[in-house]
Chain A
Amino acid sequence: MTNPLGPIPGEDPDKFDTEREQQREEHASERSDSEQTENAIELKEVEGLSQGRIVFRRFLRHKGAMISLAILVVVVVLAFSSIGINVGPIVTSGWWHWGYSQIAPIVNNGEPTITLWPFSIGEHPFGQDEIGHDAFSRVMRGAQQSIMITVVIGIVATAIGVTVGALAGFYRGKLDAFLMRLTDLIIIIPLILLTAIVGKKFQDSGSFVFAIVIGLLIWTGLARLVRGEVLGLREREFVDAARVAGASNMRIIFRHILPNAVGVIIVNTTLTMAAAILLESALSFLGFGVIPPDVSLGRLITEYQTSFNTRPWLFWWPGLFIIIIALTINFIGDGLRDAFDPRQRRKLNRKATAAAAAEREKAAAKA
């Protein structure tokens, strides 16, 4: 939200206290007047803070993002603590009394035993499937796998996307043309076709390898965005200054340019991760993702699709967890975008605006 009539963000509002400016202010509409007030409050608040701290504070103020972050943390902790971790050398046991491949005697006809009032978890809060697997532990294992795959895809895709984008944008010329044509090549193939073909090849090697391979394919969007940012940043004065000071190209790219593009990178990493969990579950649903005996959330939905008419709850829980994870990541991404966007100003509530207006009037009366 830029306000062309208001002071330029980043400049000291006191500078505008000349006669001409006052005149202009009087002619300005009421709306821009209140926006100007908001501007002044915002500028006063961020006085003397570094860019990082401003962004961080803006993020903390974004209610949707903070609630989402809290929910996501709860889900992650629940998934990884309840049934324990079993990744290569790290093996811990969780506090939940059923394992995800353990077969338990069927209680309550397999229906969920969780009740909200009076609150009790019961023996199998999410119910059981036909053979007696505890649905809660399976959903938790599925969530673990899906979260792990999402994070790995996010890291790999970001690393490649940033590198390719930065190199293409910084060196331009032939390297740029080559890298961007490569990006075009991958973009034209529908993502689900490409990842399904590659996923089929690597699904036997376990979900970690699968995640890395998928990450190798979905960096294209980020690469284009980073290239655009770098193309703009490399013409700036601080890059010239760094070069005059004798910095190498790599140092300029990684120490001077990329930190300035961090907003685009972080926001798109979160959005890529939200897309990744949906992609993973779609692939597992089609049978080209995680394969039995391991489970992921998408895999669980496939397995239980046939028992929808008899045990619909088996189908709800994994779907619910996919939605929770994807939704919270999307909201966090949105919060980060708002926090990094210099044009975003905080919306003041009525009380704060009124208080600020009263203060201005007082100051005007004094003058």
Chain B
Amino acid sequence: MATFLTRRFLASILVLLAASFIVYQLAANSGDPLEDLRASSARNKEEQMEARIRNMQLDVPSPLRYFLWLGGVLKGFIGQFDLGVDRKGQAVTTQLGAAMGSTLQLVTTALLIAIVIGVAIGITTALRQYSAYDYGVTFISFLFFSLPIFWLAVMLKQYLAIGFNDFLESPVIPPEAIIGIAVVSGFVWTIILGGEVKRRLITFAVAGAATAAALTFLSVTNWFSTPTLGPVVIAVLGAGIALLVTTLSTGLSNRRSLYTSFAVVVFLVAAYFPLQYAFAYATLPIILGLSAAVVVVGVVIGWLFAGPDRWLSARTGGITALLVGGLVLLDRFMQSWSIYANSSAIGGRPIGTIGSQTPDLGGSFWVTGIDTFTHLLLPTAALLLSSLAGYTRYSRASLLDVMNQDYIRTARAKGLSERTVVMRHAFRNALIPITTIIAFDFGAVIGGAIVTERVFGWSGMGAMFINALPLVDVNPIMGVFLVTGISAIVFNLVADLVYSALDPRIRVTA
């Protein structure tokens, strides 16, 4: 296993080295870096030219200049990492350090959410092949597949963000909108759940009524200005999560798991008020520590329920604890919402459309957290929607392939429940090709991020690249390339690890 990973890693490092040479040569020869100065009529033209030639080392031919650059990179091994300077003489490493964070945050968030939602949708469509739901999702994913991401991003920015901000000025949903949304929601649920005519009618009525009631309640209580969940809602949602997780993880017939997950929910609701005191001192490490502690508690609760399959209950408990703990955290963020939305820097228009954070905002961990969220929301949505479509299609095709295998028929013939067949025999195997594609797709998502950043005016790596390229400023371009290349390698490594976890044959042969 280790040799397999090491070999893969070394091979990709070599490929990255060669690719960096190619990119360097292409970038260095893509134009004339002195173009603007040649045409300039400034008196100190000569000096400026000389300064730039010195900064960009233009007196060295580009193939040799590459090795100067590479030397700087290799100095990283002795702790003097150096990516050269841009044409104004500023170090690329500092610029990159500032730009990298926001871009990688955007890409990783969008990618992870897209994977989870995409795989979930793909799996459900495959299980209900040729239903109205399947056809609907297929059409929508083709549509998103064909959308230019920048067009989608501009549309989201102009309509969704500005529309939602306008709505928040007086957050009352008019009755006709409630009826409209309720009808649409009833329709969507009917298509998703399917069934006989009678069942469809019931689904439509229940889903529509529930949506209308929820929206009316939210509108009347002015929820959108002062959003909150509170322990009661957390308990209700938590019970739903507990049921769902247990169904997927072990099946409802496993009583110990079911009790475990409910016990976890009860524990977290009981811990709601004590936790609020802890949250007052929140920093990122504390929150991460608390999350880990909550998961451990969930696992321990499951373990204490004992029985012949302790680990199943423990697993269920851990997952439930993580999700419900997320709800408690969300509730705490919501409590800070009105402070955030009414602060002077925001001025009641919270959904950000420019940049990756509000300058001079300040405030507690919770307020800055919301700020990051509101700025991430739209770019992530744009990136998400365009990559979601692909994952949906791939996972649908992959699960359909697996479901036709002989071992699935064997599993059914053994009398296993459909849940076990799908979740344990089919799903796991369907994930293998999806993993490969996700690792492969990382470059495309980076490309999407560059375009999205441009629309939303982020000063991330995309801006760095787009600004440097017209000026033929090679070092910033190489910096961006290096970061994307290394993160692609990391993603591939992670994919290899996941791969070997999914497919025992790899562990054996490598």
- Provide the bound-state CA to CA distance between A189 and B409, in Å: 43
User: Which residue from chain B places its CB closest to the CB of A309 in the assembled complex?
Assistant: B158
For residue A322, which residues in chain B have a CB less than 8 angstroms away from its CB? 146, 148, 151
Contact (Cβ within 8 A) B29 A201 = yes
Asked, given contacts A185-B15, A282-B451, whether A200 binds B23 with beta carbons under 8 Å apart, the answer is no
Per-position binary interface string of chain B over residues 4-34, scored 1 when its CB falls under 8 Å from any chain A CB and 0 otherwise: 0000000010011011001100110111000
CB contact between B404 and one of A2, A194, A309 (< 8 Å): that residue: A2
Within 8 A of B (CB), among A183-203: 184-194, 196-198, 200-201
- Provide the bound-state CA to CA distance between A278 and B30, in Å: 23
- Provide the bound-state CA to CA distance between A13 and B15, in Å: 52
Contact (Cβ within 8 A) A305 B27 = no
Chain A interface residue bracket vs B: 35 or more
* Best-buried of A286, A305, A330 by chain B (most CB within 10 Å): A286
Contact (Cβ within 8 A) B485 A189 = yes
For residue A287, which residues in chain B have a CB less than 8 angstroms away from its CB? 466, 470
User: Which residue from chain B places its CB closest to the CB of A184 in the assembled complex?
Assistant: B15
Contact (Cβ within 8 A) B469 A278 = no
Q: Check: B145 CB closer than 8 A to any chain A CB.
A: yes
- Provide the bound-state CA to CA distance between A282 and B151, in Å: 9
Contact (Cβ within 8 A) A323 B466 = no
Asked, given contacts A190-B447, A191-B443, A197-B477, whether A278 binds B26 with beta carbons under 8 Å apart, the answer is no
Contact (Cβ within 8 A) B143 A301 = no
Minimum CB–CB distance for B293 against chain A, Å = 39
User: Which residue from chain B places its CB closest to the CB of A181 in the assembled complex?
Assistant: B15
For residue A127, which residues in chain B have a CB less than 8 angstroms away from its CB? none
CB contact between B148 and one of A185, A196, A198, A282 (< 8 Å): that residue: A282
- Provide the bound-state CA to CA distance between A322 and B12, in Å: 36
Minimum CB–CB distance for A125 against chain B, Å = 20
For residue A278, which residues in chain B have a CB less than 8 angstroms away from its CB? 146, 148-149
Asked, given contacts A193-B447, A200-B469, whether A188 binds B151 with beta carbons under 8 Å apart, the answer is no
**Interface class of chain A by DSSP:** helix
Q: Check: B450 CB closer than 8 A to any chain A CB.
A: yes
- Provide the bound-state CA to CA distance between A160 and B86, in Å: 36
For residue B16, which residues in chain A have a CB less than 8 angstroms away from its CB? 188
Asked, given contacts A200-B31, A286-B451, whether A188 binds B148 with beta carbons under 8 Å apart, the answer is no
Contact (Cβ within 8 A) A326 B15 = no
For residue A150, which residues in chain B have a CB less than 8 angstroms away from its CB? none
For residue B400, which residues in chain A have a CB less than 8 angstroms away from its CB? 1
CB contact between B142 and one of A2, A201, A305, A331 (< 8 Å): that residue: A331
For residue B150, which residues in chain A have a CB less than 8 angstroms away from its CB? 281-282, 285, 298, 301
For residue A274, which residues in chain B have a CB less than 8 angstroms away from its CB? 145-146
CB contact between B446 and one of A190, A305, A347 (< 8 Å): that residue: A190
User: Which residue from chain B places its CB closest to the CB of A202 in the assembled complex?
Assistant: B30
Chain B interface residue bracket vs A: 35 or more
CB contact between A288 and one of B130, B151, B469, B488 (< 8 Å): that residue: B469
For residue A301, which residues in chain B have a CB less than 8 angstroms away from its CB? 148, 150-151, 154
User: Which residue from chain A places its CB closest to the CB of B488 in the assembled complex?
Assistant: A188
Contact (Cβ within 8 A) B480 A330 = no
For residue B151, which residues in chain A have a CB less than 8 angstroms away from its CB? 301, 319, 322-323
Per-position binary interface string of chain A over residues 45-69, scored 1 when its CB falls under 8 Å from any chain B CB and 0 otherwise: 0000000000000000000000000
Q: Check: A354 CB closer than 8 A to any chain B CB.
A: no
Minimum CB–CB distance for A8 against chain B, Å = 15
Within 8 A of B (CB), among A316-357: 319, 322-323, 326-327, 330-331, 334, 347
- Provide the bound-state CA to CA distance between A176 and B438, in Å: 25
Q: Check: B360 CB closer than 8 A to any chain A CB.
A: no
* Best-buried of B447, B477, B488 by chain A (most CB within 10 Å): B447
Within 8 A of B (CB), among A278-329: 278, 281-282, 285-288, 298, 301, 305, 308-309, 312, 315, 319, 322-323, 326-327
- Provide the bound-state CA to CA distance between A234 and B450, in Å: 42
- Provide the bound-state CA to CA distance between A197 and B130, in Å: 44
Q: Check: B36 CB closer than 8 A to any chain A CB.
A: no
* Best-buried of B15, B146, B406, B488 by chain A (most CB within 10 Å): B146
- Provide the bound-state CA to CA distance between A288 and B454, in Å: 13
For residue A184, which residues in chain B have a CB less than 8 angstroms away from its CB? 15
For residue A2, which residues in chain B have a CB less than 8 angstroms away from its CB? 404
User: Which residue from chain A places its CB closest to the CB of B22 in the assembled complex?
Assistant: A185
Q: Check: B481 CB closer than 8 A to any chain A CB.
A: yes
Minimum CB–CB distance for B396 against chain A, Å = 12
- Provide the bound-state CA to CA distance between A199 and B481, in Å: 16
For residue A347, which residues in chain B have a CB less than 8 angstroms away from its CB? 130
Minimum CB–CB distance for B492 against chain A, Å = 9
Minimum CB–CB distance for A286 against chain B, Å = 6
Contact (Cβ within 8 A) A315 B30 = no
- Provide the bound-state CA to CA distance between A186 and B31, in Å: 21
CB contact between B158 and one of A193, A308, A327 (< 8 Å): that residue: A308
Q: Check: B197 CB closer than 8 A to any chain A CB.
A: no
- Provide the bound-state CA to CA distance between A155 and B22, in Å: 24
Q: Check: A4 CB closer than 8 A to any chain B CB.
A: yes
- Provide the bound-state CA to CA distance between A185 and B145, in Å: 26
Contact (Cβ within 8 A) A193 B481 = yes
Contact (Cβ within 8 A) A330 B146 = yes
- Provide the bound-state CA to CA distance between A189 and B16, in Å: 8
Contact (Cβ within 8 A) A191 B480 = no
CB contact between B12 and one of A188, A285, A312, A331 (< 8 Å): that residue: A188
Q: Check: B465 CB closer than 8 A to any chain A CB.
A: yes
Q: Check: B116 CB closer than 8 A to any chain A CB.
A: no
For residue B30, which residues in chain A have a CB less than 8 angstroms away from its CB? 197-198, 200-201
Contact (Cβ within 8 A) A286 B454 = yes
User: Which residue from chain A places its CB closest to the CB of B389 in the assembled complex?
Assistant: A330
User: Which residue from chain B places its CB closest to the CB of A322 in the assembled complex?
Assistant: B148
- Provide the bound-state CA to CA distance between A326 and B469, in Å: 28
- Provide the bound-state CA to CA distance between A200 and B404, in Å: 48
CB contact between B481 and one of A185, A189, A198, A298 (< 8 Å): that residue: A189
Per-position binary interface string of chain B over residues 340-359, scored 1 when its CB falls under 8 Å from any chain A CB and 0 otherwise: 00000000000000000000
Contact (Cβ within 8 A) B148 A197 = no
Within 8 A of B (CB), among A156-205: 181, 184-194, 196-198, 200-201
For residue A192, which residues in chain B have a CB less than 8 angstroms away from its CB? 446-447, 450-451
For residue B143, which residues in chain A have a CB less than 8 angstroms away from its CB? 323, 327
Q: Check: B57 CB closer than 8 A to any chain A CB.
A: no
- Provide the bound-state CA to CA distance between A305 and B485, in Å: 31
Minimum CB–CB distance for B146 against chain A, Å = 4
Within 8 A of A (CB), among B61-75: none
For residue A196, which residues in chain B have a CB less than 8 angstroms away from its CB? 465, 469
Per-position binary interface string of chain B over residues 440-476, scored 1 when its CB falls under 8 Å from any chain A CB and 0 otherwise: 1001101100110010000000000110011000000
For residue B406, which residues in chain A have a CB less than 8 angstroms away from its CB? 4
Minimum CB–CB distance for B85 against chain A, Å = 20
User: Which residue from chain B places its CB closest to the CB of A221 in the assembled complex?
Assistant: B440
For residue A193, which residues in chain B have a CB less than 8 angstroms away from its CB? 23, 446-447, 450, 465, 477, 480-481, 484
CB contact between B451 and one of A185, A285, A326 (< 8 Å): that residue: A285
User: Which residue from chain A places its CB closest to the CB of B480 in the assembled complex?
Assistant: A193
For residue A331, which residues in chain B have a CB less than 8 angstroms away from its CB? 142
Task: Name 28 interchain pairs, CB-CB below 8 A, sorted by A.
Answer: A1-B400, A181-B15, A185-B19, A185-B22, A188-B488, A189-B23, A190-B481, A192-B447, A192-B451, A193-B484, A196-B469, A197-B27, A197-B469, A200-B469, A281-B148, A282-B148, A285-B148, A285-B150, A286-B454, A288-B469, A298-B148, A308-B154, A319-B155, A323-B147, A326-B146, A327-B143, A327-B146, A330-B142
Query: CB within 8 Å of B: which residues of A?
Result: 1-2, 4, 181, 184-194, 196-198, 200-201, 274, 278, 281-282, 285-288, 298, 301, 305, 308-309, 312, 315, 319, 322-323, 326-327, 330-331, 334, 347
**Closest 6 CB pairs between A and B?**
A192-B447, A326-B146, A190-B443, A327-B146, A319-B151, A201-B30
Known: A192-B451, A200-B469, A288-B469. 5 other contacts (CB 8 A): A4-B406, A181-B15, A197-B477, A327-B142, A327-B146
